[in-house]
Amino acid sequence: MRSVSVREAVRTAKRYGAESCCSEVEAQQETNLTGTPAQLQQLRALQAHLAFAQGRFEDAALLSRSVLSEEDLRLPYRDRVRLSVLDGRLAIRAGRVEEGVAALQQLARRATQSGHVDLAAHVWQVLATTLAAGLRPSGEAPCRSRPGRPDGPQSVGRQGIRTGGADGVAESGAKP
């Protein structure tokens, strides 16, 4: 068996994205890993994200829970939040919608309060897309657009006249 540095595995995964280094991470599961506890936690967190991306939700849940429940969690703040976001997404996917939504909302608020506005925006975006994915029938795009839909957004002029449909074309004869 070949010994591989966890630092090398984490660096490669971050550089190329979790999905593109799939074979490398799988290969490293077969080798003897060396690294600090923090590096091993980072590797398992990346494996959880990879499992989620591949549709292996049970594996993702087991990995994320095992890392988050460790007594001596050494992940950096952003990695911890992102792993907690994954855990919230998994809760929603498993049918525990209220629990997952509450967890994600709390994460977003904490990130905002700690000055990590970009991270908070990421959490809110994940929450919105996760909920939107659960509300539409399978196979349907998240946002269909049909120009000229009568039920689309409308603009109302000063005299209360409807001035535009979903495609923005004036329906009242006035210029939009």
pLDDT digits (tens, 9 = 90+) for 115-141: 999 999 999 999 999 999 876 544 444
Which of 50, 53, 67, 60 shows the shortest CA–CA distance to 12?
Answer: 50
pLDDT score for 135: 64
pLDDT score for 10: 55
pLDDT score for 111: 96
**Rg of the chain's alpha carbons, rounded to an integer?**
22
- Average pLDDT, whole number, for the chain? 75
pLDDT score for 17: 55
pLDDT score for 14: 55
Supply φ then ψ for residue 40, to 5 degrees: -65, -35
Residue partners of 43: CB distance under 8 A and separation at least 6: 6, 9, 10, 13, 25, 28, 33, 35
pLDDT by 10-residue block (mean), the chain, 176 residues: 50 54 50 77 96 96 95 94 96 94 97 96 95 65 47 48 45 47
User: pTM for the whole thing?
Assistant: 0.62
